[in-house]
Amino acid sequence: MPSGNYKTSYRDDAKIFQTIWVKAWLFVFLALLLVFPFFAGKYLIYLANLMGIAVIGVLGLNILTGYTGQISLGHSAFLALGAYASTLLTLRLGVPFWLSMPLAGLFSALCGLLLALPCLRLRGLYLAIVTFAFYFIVEYTIIHWNGLTNGTGGLTVPEPNIVGLAVDSDRKLYFLILGLAILGLIFAKNLFRTEAGRAFIAIRDNDVAAEVIGVNVVRYKILAFMVCSFYAGVAGSLYAVTLNFIGPEHFTFLMTIEYLAMGLVGGIGTIAGSVFGVLFMTALPEAIRMLRDALSSHYPFLVSRMSDLQSGLYGLTIILFLIFEPTGLFGLWLRIKNYWLAWPYSYR
């Protein structure tokens, strides 16, 4: 008798919802997400918005780094490009937000294409350095092109407006971000059931072998860069409207690290992992913050050192996960699930 997750056809194997329970739980989760803003306070909704944006951004990074194996240390540059593009389109040309957001994504994707060109022959370390150089060049341009970006002064982001409907509260923004994050998840999940997604994975696992079996490595590497930067561009434009204000200080190198940490903690190269990672890495600083509030009466200097504590925590999490749990939370979850699926016979 078949037991566990037993499949007899490729069709079954490629299904998104492997069992009916996955589907059911997902809908319960979705329903919870939909009613959440009616019960949560202002700060929680704001936090949820940031998390939704992070999910979109991390998904992009995961497609490029996790699935295609191209290390990117320039992710925050793409977010910055998206944020500035959508804000400037609205400010200067009066483009409404529903149009400027996808345009920002496209602009970011175009920059991704430009970055992909010198990166095609690079791998590993050199790729990491070049993407870092790209981040540096973008940051420099934003700071010094005063006429366009107002330099370090930053820009105030106008209120987004979607086909006449003003998104004037965090709660309305929440539904927008939630919708886009779900769209992004569905697209990413399906991407890896198509030829392009399979090609990405083939390039990650062995690019020479991929070329030999007929994958056009150049084309798909460029595509991966573009999809990644499109996601980042959209995330950036959402980030801009969530913060109401953007400046170069919002898109630091630490942001890239944060996103990479989210991807790694969740499980690099998994879609669900992106969500897990964002949840974990958002909850962690919040927990630290609560701990700080509790301790600050005894150690008042902790308050001024909060940002160091937080970034140090990112660093430590990356190190610990890479050493002890390289497959991330998603891998951990799979192992726990498999253990209980066959309990008490844990060795399958």
Give the interface with other proteins as residue ranges (CB under 8 A).
65, 69, 71, 73, 117-118, 121-122, 124-126, 128-130, 132-134, 136-137, 140, 143-144, 207-208, 210-211, 217, 254, 257, 260-261, 264, 268, 305, 307-319, 322-323, 326
Decide: 245 and 156 in contact? Cβ < 8 Å. Answer: yes
- From the CB of 11, what's the least distance to other proteins, in Å? 32
Cβ distance to other proteins smaller for residue 71 or 178: 71
Q: Would you say the C-alpha torsion 146, 147, 149, 154 has a positive or negative sign?
A: positive
Pick from 307, 275, 301, 277: which is nearest to 289 by CA?
307
- From the CB of 281, what's the least distance to other proteins, in Å? 13
Q: What is the DSSP string of 212-281?
A: HTT--HHHHHHHHHHHHHHHHHHHHHHHHHHHSEE-GGGS-HHHHHHHHHHHHHH-TT-HHHHHHHHHHH
- From the CB of 320, what's the least distance to other proteins, in Å? 9
Largest CA distance in the chain: 71
Q: State the pairing for strand pair 155-156/245-246.
A: antiparallel
Element (H, E) at 156: strand 155-156
Cβ distance to other proteins smaller for residue 161 or 310: 310
Output the six-digit token pair for 273.
């992992």
- From the CB of 215, what's the least distance to other proteins, in Å? 10
- From the CB of 239, what's the least distance to other proteins, in Å? 21
Cβ distance to other proteins smaller for residue 230 or 314: 314
Cβ distance to other proteins smaller for residue 157 or 318: 318
Output the six-digit token pair for 90.
């609205």
Cβ distance to other proteins smaller for residue 170 or 207: 207
- From the CB of 288, what's the least distance to other proteins, in Å? 12
Cβ distance to other proteins smaller for residue 133 or 162: 133
φ and ψ at residue 66, rounded to 5 degrees: -75, -40
